[in-house]
Every structure is written in C-alpha cells, then in structure tokens.
Amino acid sequence: MEKRIELPVAEEMQMGMSIGLALAGKTVISIYPRFDFLLLAVNQLVNHLDKLEEFTHNEFHAKVIIRVGIGSTKPMYPGVQHCGDYTEAFRRMLKMPVVKLGNPKQILNAYQTAYDRQESVLIVEGIDWYGME
C-alpha cells in the first residue's frame, strides 16, 4: 500500500507519470478501470511508451504494465462510454503485447508473466470477474 500512488481523474497525466516512473527504474502497474478511460491516454501510450526505444535509438527503456477493464453491463447498463472493448484496435496500434484474458483464473499468471517480461504489456480484464464467488 505504501508504494501505491492515487491520482485524480487525469488519464494522460497518469500515463505520462507511469512512463516517467518506469524511466527512473520503478516497476509500474498503471490501472485504467475502463477501456473508455484509457482512450484519453492514447497519445502517451502509442506515441511515447510504445515507441520510446525506437525514437531514442535504444538509449531509454520504460516498462509499464497497463491494466484495463472492459466495463460491466450488469446489474445495469452504464452507457456506451463505460463498457467498450477496444482490444483489437489496440493490438493493431501497438507493438507491445496486448493480452486479453479469457477468465479470472488467468489473472495472476498474466501479471506474473508481464512482470517477468522486459517490455511493456497491456492486460485486458473483464470487470465482471471481480466480486464473483
């Protein structure tokens, strides 16, 4: 808990801070509760984090594990701005792995695998999974 940083709703700033912390050698897991919110950080994600090594000629490396959720539509529909699934679009935009989990049993292994990798990873989860018995 002492390593956690709570941020206001400022998605692009969050991604920028995540990149900066990773450049300083920190292990960063950046959480976006819904895919629709991650859209606001696409500039930092696509144009900075994903291409950092390429445009710095491998001088800089920043590894960020990005967790994003596909919004739940139950028990009530939250509206189109809170339940989008843009996994395939992000797979086409990014060089980094985009891992869409199929069930909650894959969560721990996915994060361990992402932690062990040398590169950034975008992990997509279903928000419906949390609170399940």
Q: Give the model confidence (pLDDT) of 82-131 as tens digits.
A: 889 999 999 999 999 999 999 999 999 999 999 999 999 999 999 888 76
Query: Kindly report the CA angle at 11 between 55 and 127, in degrees rounded to 5?
Result: 115
pLDDT of 127: 87
- Checking DSSP bridges between strand 64-70 and strand 28-32, what pairing results, if any? parallel
Q: What is the pLDDT of residues 45-74, one digit of tens each?
A: 999 999 999 999 999 999 999 999 998 888
Architecture of domain 11-129: 3-Layer(aba) Sandwich (3.40)
Give Cα 127 to chain centroid, integer Å.
Answer: 14
Q: How confident is the model at residue 132 (pLDDT cuts 50, 70, 90)?
A: low
Q: 2-11, 37-46, 57-66 — which is least confidently predicted? A: 2-11
The yes-or-no verdict on residue 19 having pLDDT over 90 is yes
pTM: 0.92
Closest CA to 67 of 19, 113, 9, 111: 111
Per-domain boundaries in the chain: 11-129
The amino acid sitting at 27 is T
Q: 5-9, 30-34, 122-126 — which is least confidently predicted? A: 5-9
- Checking DSSP bridges between strand 98-100 and strand 28-32, what pairing results, if any? unpaired
pLDDT of 133: 45
Query: CB–CB of 15/30 below 8 Å?
Result: yes
| DSSP H or E run through 51 | none
pLDDT of 75: 81
How many alpha carbons fall within 13 Å on the CB side of residue 35? 21
